[in-house]
């Protein structure tokens, strides 16, 4: 009678062990791949958010490059320059805040959109090199372009009484004080300028 030889379980055990190792390696590779993909997505999203924050905060910029006494009462003339990058900005979206404080602590302020007198005398906005307010048919510009320079006028007064001369050349000269002007623009940082009379309230004298 022929005797059948029973194979040892060793080969089976090795095969099962190899399969377990193989499956484990696949699972490990999957976990590593998922982690790498997840981290890459997070880094990409973070970079996009940071770039958007920078673009939103600094896409537009403006600086005040000059300021002068415009008349013998409370009007002032300013020149501003927009940064070369950014996008066109509507004039009505640019807000100014004019403030001053007397030596006794009395504080005055006035705020409106550029070109809006807010109840005071007419104020003007025009591009440097174009027709000024003395030209027939003059009209305020409605949009500011990147890289361009513009003149604008402001008059003194307060939010409650824009017909007064507070924070204008006469008031600054009378009280021997300075004023402060802020320009606020959309999608960009605000700019601030101290206004200090260089030659009293003489028309044409510089204020910065």
**Number of domains observed in the structure of the chain:** 2
Would residue 115 count as lying in a domain? yes
Would residue 4 count as lying in a domain? no
Backbone phi and psi for residue 119, each to the nearest 5 degrees, phi listed first: 105, -10
88, 187: one domain: yes
Dihedral sign computed on CA atoms, order 161, 162, 166, 167: positive
Q: Check pLDDT > 60 for residue 95.
A: yes
Residues 121-174 pLDDT 10s: 788 999 999 998 989 989 999 999 999 999 999 988 888 888 889 999 999 999
Range from 157-166, 177-186, 194-203 that averages highest in pLDDT: 177-186
Q: Which residues constitute the domain of residue 20?
A: 9-58
Residues 33-49 pLDDT 10s: 777 887 777 777 766 65
Structural domain ending residue among the three candidates 40, 58, 76: 58
- Going by pLDDT thresholds of 50, 70 and 90, the confidence category of residue 88 is very high
> Which among 199, 186, 200 has a CA at the least distance from the CA of 57?
186
Overall average pLDDT of the 171-197 stretch? 94
Range from 10-14, 86-90, 149-153, 187-191 that averages highest in pLDDT: 149-153
Phi-psi group of 72: left, alpha or beta (phi > 0 → left; psi -120 to 50 → alpha; rest → beta): alpha
45, 26: one domain: yes
72, 172: one domain: yes
Dihedral sign computed on CA atoms, order 127, 129, 130, 132: positive
pLDDT of residue 27: 80
pLDDT of residue 48: 60
48, 89: one domain: no
Would residue 205 count as lying in a domain? no
Taking the whole predicted model, whether its pTM rises above 0.75 is answered as: no
- Of the given ranges (16-25, 65-74, 112-121, 179-188), which has the lowest mean pLDDT? 16-25
| Distance separating alpha carbons of residues 94 and 142, to the nearest angstrom | 11
157, 97: one domain: yes
| Distance separating alpha carbons of residues 183 and 61, to the nearest angstrom | 10
Overall average pLDDT of the 170-182 stretch? 95
47, 143: one domain: no
24, 120: one domain: no
- Going by pLDDT thresholds of 50, 70 and 90, the confidence category of residue 199 is confident
The domain that holds 136 is classified in CATH as: 2.60.40
77, 143: one domain: yes
Overall average pLDDT of the 189-196 stretch? 93
Overall average pLDDT of the 48-75 stretch? 76
Annotate the chain with three-state secondary structure.
CCCCCCCCCHHHHHHHHHHHHHHHHHHHHHHHHHHHHHHHHHHHHHHHHHHHHHHHHHCCCEEEEEEEECCCCCEEEEEEEECCCCCCEEHHHCEEEEEEECCCCCEEEEEEECCCCCCCCCCCEEECCCCCCCCCCCCCCCEECCCCEEEEEEECCCCCCCCCCCCCHHHHHHHCCCEEEEEECCCCCCEEEEECCCECECCCCECC
């Amino acid at each position: 009678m022929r005797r059948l030889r029973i194979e040892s379980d060793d080969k089976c055990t090795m095969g099962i062990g190899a399969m377990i190792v193989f499956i484990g390696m696949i699972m490990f590779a999957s976990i590593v791949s998922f982690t790498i993909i997840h981290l890459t997505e997070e880094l990409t999203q973070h970079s996009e958010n940071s770039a958007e924050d920078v673009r939103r905060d600094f896409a537009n910029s403006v600086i005040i490059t000059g300021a002068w006494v415009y008349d013998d009462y409370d009007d002032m003339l300013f020149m501003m320059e927009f940064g070369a990058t950014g996008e066109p900005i509507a004039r009505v979206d640019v807000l100014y805040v004019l403030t001053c404080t007397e030596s006794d602590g009395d504080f005055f302020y006035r705020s409106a959109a550029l070109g809006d007198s807010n109840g005071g005398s007419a104020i003007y906005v025009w591009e440097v090199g174009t027709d000024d307010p003395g030209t027939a048919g003059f009209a305020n510009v409605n949009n500011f372009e990147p890289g361009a320079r513009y003149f604008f006028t402001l008059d003194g007064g307060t939010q409650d009484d824009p017909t007064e001369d507070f924070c204008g050349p006469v008031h600054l000269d009378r009280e021997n004080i300075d004023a402060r002007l802020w320009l606020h623009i959309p999608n960009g940082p605000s700019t601030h300028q101290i206004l200090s009379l260089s030659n009293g309230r003489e028309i044409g004298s510089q204020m910065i």
